[in-house]
A and B are shown apart, each in its own frame.
Chain A
Amino acid sequence: MNIWYYANPERFAGLARTLLPWTLGLALILAAIGTVWGLLIAPPDYQQGEAMRIIYVHVPAAWMAMFVYAVMAVSSAIAFIWNHPLADVAAKASAPIGAVFTALALVTGMLWGEPMWGTWWVWDARLTSVLILFFLYIGYIVLWSAIEEPARAARAARILALVGAVNLPIIKFSVDWWNTLHQPASVFRMDGPTMAPEMLTPLLIMGLAYNLLYVAILFMRMRAEIAERRLRTIRLGLEPAAS
């Protein structure tokens, strides 16, 4: 606990309290800018027309779907190695946020697929692996609530989060490894983005807004979780409340 000053849950809750208004405020400002830019200023695509504007809500949601899972997996690994409760709290608090981002990526993708591909859904590698990601989130959430004893629930949840992480590279490279209707990466590429800057800029702004919103909601949910754990400890009479 002396090594990582903010690894103390109460100290972390204090830090989260300070940073929450900044992250949430910046997320809302960037989301407003990204919305105006994406819907009004950015040009329509020469092939897809105005339908392409779905990209500004689809791609950030898909990025965050994977990013949040990566956070969950890393936190679970840390929880395993150092057995620190705050890492479990971070992973547990992330799961519902990641599930919402994944659901949004799937639904906005369907709304984009129907006019562009002529179908809401195909069982190809990209779409199927993202659907599996969604089920991993749901399974993770269910595990926490299904196992009564917190230590056992934490252990099971860590294992699921780590095993499920193999799905992340599959999602990322699915568009390269298999035939798919889904277009290949055009932003995070080894040779740099291939997207036009007029579209890339609002996309990155929305991406940053989504990321900051995740951090803000993560702070809220971690604070809630820390408070609930403290409450449980107080009720069990294990801790002098004035500490």
Chain B
Amino acid sequence: MTLQSFLEMGGYAAFVWPAWGLSLAALAVLTLVSWRWMRRAERLAATSSSDPGTNPAAPAPSEPVD
């Protein structure tokens, strides 16, 4: 099988490649967005719970909360 015949997908290139490309792209974006949301939320929760200004019972800022 040549590269060209692979890319042509037996004449169905216009359907096979968008189906695979969209699937890959959508799942990659969802993964990245979820990852960044998780990082941001956990960082925010960790900093505000160790902020002595908002809560006097908080641990020292250097101490990780979780």
A interface with B by C-beta (< 8 Å): 10, 13-14, 24, 35, 39-40, 44, 49-51, 53-54, 57-58, 61, 96-97, 100, 103-104, 107-108, 111-112, 114-115, 213, 216-217, 220-221, 223-225, 227-228, 230-231, 234-235, 237, 240-242
Most chain-A Cβ atoms within 10 A of its Cβ — which of B10, B38, B50?
A: B38
Q: In angstroms, how far is the closest chain B Cβ from the Cβ of A71? A: 16
Query: Given A51-B15, A231-B45 in contact, is the A224-B55 Cβ separation under 8 Å?
Result: no
Interface of B is mostly: helix
- Contacts A24-B31, A241-B65 aside, 19 further interface pairs with beta carbons under 8 A come to A10-B66, A51-B16, A53-B16, A96-B30, A103-B26, A104-B22, A104-B26, A111-B18, A112-B19, A115-B15, A221-B34, A224-B38, A224-B40, A231-B45, A237-B55, A241-B50, A241-B57, A241-B58, A242-B59
Q: Considering only CB atoms and an 8 Å cut-off, how many residues of chain B contact the other chain?
A: 35
Query: Given A40-B6, A51-B12 in contact, is the A223-B38 Cβ separation under 8 Å?
Result: yes
Q: Which residue of A lies closest to B10 (CB)?
A: A50
Query: Given A115-B15, A241-B54 in contact, is the A221-B37 Cβ separation under 8 Å?
Result: yes
Q: Which 10 A-B pairs have the closest CB atoms?
A: A50-B10, A241-B49, A227-B41, A51-B12, A227-B45, A57-B23, A220-B34, A224-B41, A224-B38, A108-B19
